[in-house]
Structure 1
Amino acid sequence: MDYIGTSMNVLYYLAFPIIYIVQALCSILWTASAPLIYLGHYVLYACWYPFHVLGKFELINQQTIYVFFGVATLVGLLTGTGVHFASRLVASILHIDALAKESGQRGRTIAEYRASKDESLEQTDDLGKAVQQVEIQRKDTERANELKDWDWAAEDRGRSRNGSLPNTILEEEDSSDYGF
């Protein structure tokens, strides 16, 4: 009997379910990730497109593209340096840089800002409560003065002099020329 052939058959039938499951999972994964694969392909194509265009220019005239980028770099460096020195000059004329050096730090920290904000809110709350209390006392005093002078006997309880209620609805007369 051939032991090697038999052992290979046993290993094949033992590994067949595992291989079958792995192949099924790979096909599902490939199908599910197909849109991402195509998207990645297009993104890479878009990233490589500028180099593709530059490659075409190199074939035409290599020296022209180098001169173009060299002049662009030189103009960018000169412009950036000029803007830097101009802004430093304006800052020194307006003494903006002196204020930053005198303070010694960039400003308040977050903790200092929050502490001052909490303190101002507490002061505002205390002041607001005091103002509300005074306002309530003033209104109570005004109401008491109004009720002190009230004459309940003279009040006719909502009736007018002719005995009808004061909210009688009056009908309007038609004053149009057409007579409708």
Structure 2
Amino acid sequence: MPENAYGDGRRETIKIIGTIGLQCAFPFAGDELYGQHQHPAPANTADAGPPQFFRPEQFQVLSRVAELIVPGATAARVPNYIDLVVRNNAEHQKLYTDGLAWLAGKDFLKLGEKQQLAILEPLCAQVDRGEVKTMEQRFFRVAKNMTADGYYTSKAGLVEELGYLGNQVLAEYPECKIDEH
């Protein structure tokens, strides 16, 4: 039999299996993340344009929640990132719509920061303990994860906060000093 009779089919199968594995491990398209490509960033969040999925009042609540989860999230355009991801996922659309309606029903934006945190901190503790049964817990878990994903793949989170230099070849690796951590 010729050497390549089965080779191409096996290679294609391995590529497909690898792609499926990566998609399951990382469910966002590469172009949704800052670290995956280069693009000009708007000067501020006002330049990002209106949200495509969320209504303006929902987007305001979402922006406040993201900012409470990661200070600086709004400036890093995390709510716009979440809008992009949710716009393309029907399951997330219902969860975000229900979760934001729940917060709006509590007049979330009219509350002071302490009262807002009093609503979110118990959810955060429950989610961290693995308690994700109620709609509110599921909403907060997804919002927290997407906020972290959006922020730490933005220029502000990835480059400015974490110091990612990108595509650097190092002659040697710097020594890790325990007192730095």
User: TM-score, normalised to structure 1's length?
Assistant: 0.19
Larger radius of gyration between Structure 1 and Structure 2:
1
Higher helix share goes to which structure? 1
